[in-house]
């Protein structure tokens, strides 16, 4: 190695090329990005009789050997016939594969007549003792099922493929519902595994008319979803419309029920959610009984419910679990909380800026003395506190459990106290922001709660601009928009606007024997749910 000397610094050397990675636009167009896309352009591709062509096609489609977890296991059945199995390592039960499928195919097929016309049926009937076996001759379908955890068996000389369901993969156990807690209701929640979720529903709803239809969503990703409803109760137009909307989804990136919700909702520009999301199977079943449909997406620990109204988002399962007196009481408390969460800061703004004469003298003096040392105008003061509150809330929901709670307490107590002592905000404002913040926690649905949080800022601005006049203008537009929203054809504010017959549990809950009818807005086939 050449020894470096001090005069080397005066000698010109070519710079070494920068090895930093830059992601530039690919010169290839996107028509060939999906290996499946190439074949999809034309008609549906059927499998070949020649096993070598099938093998070549599968390798090409799954990018083998680049794709390391796709396993192709060649074997001979009946002692001399070429066959191969395709499966994804990690999605199948290996014990089952080795001890049942491979063993039986290699050892138990010796007595079978290969020339027999129904050789495939004989394999299914006599050799393969697997619970679910499907047949297909379409490459697309076969490949989808392989990605779903099926094992595909191709046999030389046959243009049909057997799909063996020997799925097994790690999954989460059923746990307590995290976001929709109840005191008396069931504690279990949905999990990410679709068959487990369906089994929970079947266990809770022992109705022979409970229909579960499986569908695939999206263009390439083929995430599975289940459409669940009770035949004979639901209006048949709802599942039809739902299937139409799900089939229209062309996105490749549907990974959760939240994403699907945005694809199938009636209007993407409305602030309010038009699909309800629940993680509680008991609540999901109560919706099924009301004549609604569920969509459960593989990989999402919750179910989407359609059609919904504002009052579905507003209620919890506790309202009906409890006796009607207690249910009514907590429902009224929740209504007060919702009104406070939306309007309280805006009302404060209107009172302080425009209608001081409406505040009693003592309270006015108290507010004035509290605001005396604050250097900011009321709108800045309120906005800063609201944003700070939202920051604390967002931060506490993103950090791990125990720290999150601590962060909330530290933020609310210490920061608030320090801000008042520093003279940056008035104590009364802290009370207003905290009260409206706490009130927003009574809203059981997360999406509705977010809508309310956003609405609050709208009313603060309206109150700042024109006091109570501005707030009433805002209320008119706000409620008019709410009244014009529809969820799968059902008015969002039903049964209040439009007025429809209901089971009398909008705000005040009736005794349980008084709740005889299914919601009229659902136009169910059976109107009465109890006699």
CB of 231 to other proteins, least distance (A): 29
- Listed ranges 34-42, 332-340, 352-360, 409-417: which one lies at the site for other proteins (CB under 8 A): 352-360
Q: Using an 8 Å Cβ cutoff, are 371 and 365 in contact?
A: no
- Listed ranges 288-296, 315-323, 416-424, 476-484: which one lies at the site for other proteins (CB under 8 A): 476-484
Report the run of H or E that residue 257 belongs to, with start and end.
Answer: helix 257-264
CB of 168 to other proteins, least distance (A): 51
| 91 vs 165: CA distance, rounded Å | 10
Q: Using an 8 Å Cβ cutoff, are 161 and 152 in contact?
A: yes
| 96 vs 168: CA distance, rounded Å | 10
- Regarding 493 and contact with other proteins (CB under 8 A), the answer is yes
For other proteins, what does the binding mask look like between residues 190 and 229, x meaning CB under 8 A?
Answer: ----------------------------------------
- Regarding 267 and contact with other proteins (CB under 8 A), the answer is no
For other proteins, the closer of residues 444 and 470 by Cβ is 470
Other Cβ atoms within 10 Å of 13 Cβ, number: 7
Which of 48, 114, 457, 469 contacts other proteins by CB under 8 A? 469
- Regarding 483 and contact with other proteins (CB under 8 A), the answer is yes
The beta strand positions in 170-323, using DSSP E, are: 210-217, 223-230, 276-278, 293-297, 303-306
- Regarding 477 and contact with other proteins (CB under 8 A), the answer is yes
Residue 225 has, within 13 A of its CA and on its CB side, a CA count of 29
CB of 421 to other proteins, least distance (A): 30
| 353 vs 208: CA distance, rounded Å | 62
Which of 18, 173, 360, 528 contacts other proteins by CB under 8 A? 360
Which of 281, 491, 495, 519 contacts other proteins by CB under 8 A? 491
- Regarding 475 and contact with other proteins (CB under 8 A), the answer is yes
- Regarding 421 and contact with other proteins (CB under 8 A), the answer is no
- Regarding 466 and contact with other proteins (CB under 8 A), the answer is yes
Which of 178, 362, 372, 513 contacts other proteins by CB under 8 A? 362
- Regarding 519 and contact with other proteins (CB under 8 A), the answer is no
- Regarding 173 and contact with other proteins (CB under 8 A), the answer is no
For other proteins, the closer of residues 496 and 515 by Cβ is 496
| 223 vs 319: CA distance, rounded Å | 35
The residues near 309 (Cβ < 8 Å, ≥ 6 apart) are 487, 490, 491, 492, 493, 494, 495, 519, 521
- Regarding 358 and contact with other proteins (CB under 8 A), the answer is yes
For other proteins, the closer of residues 437 and 467 by Cβ is 467
Residue identified by tokens 């636009």 is 25
Number of residues that bind other proteins (CB under 8 A): 32
CB of 440 to other proteins, least distance (A): 22
CA distances from 432 to 135, 347, 381, 390 (A): 65, 10, 12, 14
Instruction: Count the helices and strands in the chain (H runs, E runs).
Output: 19, 12
Reading phi first (left if > 0) and then psi (alpha if -120 to 50, else beta), residue 523 is in left
For other proteins, the closer of residues 139 and 354 by Cβ is 354
| 204 vs 278: CA distance, rounded Å | 15
257: Cα separation from own chain's centroid: 3
Which of 121, 473, 514, 530 contacts other proteins by CB under 8 A? 473
CB of 483 to other proteins, least distance (A): 4
515: Cα separation from own chain's centroid: 30
| 329 vs 327: CA distance, rounded Å | 5
For other proteins, the closer of residues 428 and 482 by Cβ is 482
Give the helix ranges, DSSP H, for 441-526: 446-484
- Regarding 480 and contact with other proteins (CB under 8 A), the answer is yes
Which of 354, 459, 464, 488 contacts other proteins by CB under 8 A? 354
Q: Which residues pair with 71 in a beta bridge?
A: 87
- Regarding 463 and contact with other proteins (CB under 8 A), the answer is no
Q: Applying CB under 8 A, which residues contact other proteins?
A: 351, 354-355, 357-358, 360-363, 465-470, 472-473, 475-477, 479-484, 491, 493, 496-499
């Amino acid at each position: 190695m050449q020894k470096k000397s001090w005069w080397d610094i005066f000698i010109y050397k070519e710079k070494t090329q920068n090895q930093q990675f830059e992601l530039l636009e690919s010169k290839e167009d996107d028509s060939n990005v999906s290996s499946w896309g190439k074949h999809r352009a034309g008609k549906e591709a059927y499998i070949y009789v020649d096993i070598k062509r099938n093998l070549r096609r599968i390798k090409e489609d799954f990018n083998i050997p680049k794709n390391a977890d796709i396993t192709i296991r060649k074997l001979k059945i009946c002692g001399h016939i070429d066959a191969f199995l395709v499966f994804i390592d990690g999605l199948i039960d290996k014990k089952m594969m080795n001890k049942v499928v491979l063993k039986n195919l290699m050892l138990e097929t010796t007595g079978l007549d290969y020339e027999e016309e129904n050789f495939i049926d004989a394999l299914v009937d006599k050799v393969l003792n697997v619970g679910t076996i499907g047949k297909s001759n379409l490459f697309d379908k076969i490949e989808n099922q392989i990605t779903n955890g099926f094992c595909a068996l191709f046999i030389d000389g046959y243009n049909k493929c057997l799909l063996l369901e020997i799925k097994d993969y790690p999954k989460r156990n059923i746990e307590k519902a995290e976001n929709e807690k109840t005191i008396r209701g069931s504690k279990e929640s949905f999990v990410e595994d679709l068959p487990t979720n369906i089994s929970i529903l079947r266990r809770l709803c022992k109705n022979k008319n409970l229909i579960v239809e499986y569908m695939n969503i999206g263009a390439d990703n083929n995430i599975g979803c289940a459409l669940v409803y009770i035949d004979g109760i639901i209006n048949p137009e709802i599942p039809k419309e739902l299937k139409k909307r799900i089939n229209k989804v062309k996105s490749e990136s549907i990974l959760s029920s939240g994403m699907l919700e945005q694809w199938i909702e009636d209007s993407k520009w409305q602030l309010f959610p038009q699909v309800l999301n629940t993680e509680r199977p008991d609540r999901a079943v109560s919706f099924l009984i009301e004549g609604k449909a569920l969509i459960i997406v593989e990989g999402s620990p919750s179910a989407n419910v359609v059609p919904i109204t504002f009052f579905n988002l507003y209620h919890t399962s506790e309202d009906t679990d409890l006796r009607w007196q207690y249910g009514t009481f907590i429902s009224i408390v929740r209504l007060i909380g919702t009104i406070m969460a939306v309007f309280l800061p805006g009302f404060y703004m209107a009172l302080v800026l425009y209608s001081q004469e409406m505040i009693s003298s003592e309270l006015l003096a108290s507010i004035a003395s509290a605001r005396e040392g604050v250097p900011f105008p009321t709108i800045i003061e309120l906005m800063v506190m609201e944003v700070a509150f939202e920051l604390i809330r967002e931060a506490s929901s993103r950090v791990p459990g125990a720290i999150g709670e601590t962060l909330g307490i530290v933020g609310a107590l210490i920061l608030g106290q320090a801000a008042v002592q520093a003279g940056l905000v008035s104590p009364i404002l802290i009370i207003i922001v905290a009260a409206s913040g706490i009130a927003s926690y009574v809203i059981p649905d997360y999406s509705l709660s977010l809508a309310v949080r956003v609405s609050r800022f709208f009313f603060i601005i309206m109150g700042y601009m024109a006091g109570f006049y501005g707030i009433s203008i805002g209320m008119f537009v706000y409620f008019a928009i709410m009244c014009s929203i529809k969820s799968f054809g059902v008015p969002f504010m039903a049964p209040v606007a439009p007025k429809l017959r209901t089971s009398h549990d909008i705000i005040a809950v009736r005794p349980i024997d008084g709740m005889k009818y299914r919601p009229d807005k659902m136009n169910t086939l059976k109107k009465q749910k109890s006699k």
